[in-house]
Structure 1
Amino acid sequence: MTFSSLKIHLALALLLAAAPALAASAPAAELAAAEQAVAAADRAQPRGEAGQLLIRARGQLDAARAAAGKRKHRDALLLAESAAANADLARARARLDAARADIDSKSARNDDLRRRLLVNRRPG
């Protein structure tokens, strides 16, 4: 074996030895982000369709944790990102539903005030 081929074999051996370290690492940051997104969505108290999105996000987060435990890091990463996206959507829809309910309540209050003003204006 020549000196240059020894270098090549040594480089290959080092590369093979380092391959597990270079492999995809556990998506800890993505799992933490998904957990935070699910917790934030839960605080928004979603109902209806938004509640179903939150349930889906929780399921995806659980699946991501399980995949990470099985060292299926790519699957865990995709599931964690999907869980975070669904949780964010659930939170946004819950906030939208709350805003619409607030608008409906204020609109009903305005209608009631309008009726009272009209009743009080009539000459009697």
Structure 2
Amino acid sequence: MSTAAFEVLAASREALNVTVAFLGGLVVAGALVWAVRVGIKVMEREPHRPTVEEQTRLPETGPVHEVREVREPDEVPVATDGRRLMPYELHQAQTRRGDDQHRRRWRPGSSGSFGSGGFRL
């Protein structure tokens, strides 16, 4: 083969590469356009955003504040026939306000880590 034939072959490969790159770019651009159209259709199906009048408001009495109190749990019921209770037989855990409202504190000078005995009742 002569050098002219190699030049023609190289030019045709270069043209093929450019064509493939251009077609690949068209595919990517088409996929992006399709994704945007699908996104717009999904957004149109969503419920509308609330207007200023539909927004929630504070109650007339003002903001609600956190209440801290010590609660006491109910005792776990025992089966009357000596069998083990199944989880579905237990009632919902109820609590009641404790008589002693002082929070438990760590003893001064103790690290408070597990097993240290630093917790006082």
Whether TM exceeds 0.5 here: the answer is no
Hey, which of these two has a bigger chunk of strand by percent?
Answer: 2
* Shorter-normalised TM range: 0.3 to 0.5
Q: Which structure is richer in relative contact order (CA contacts within 8 A, separation 6 or more)?
A: 1
Which entry has the higher C-alpha Rg, 1 or 2? 2
What is the TM-score when the length of structure 2 is the normalising length? 0.38
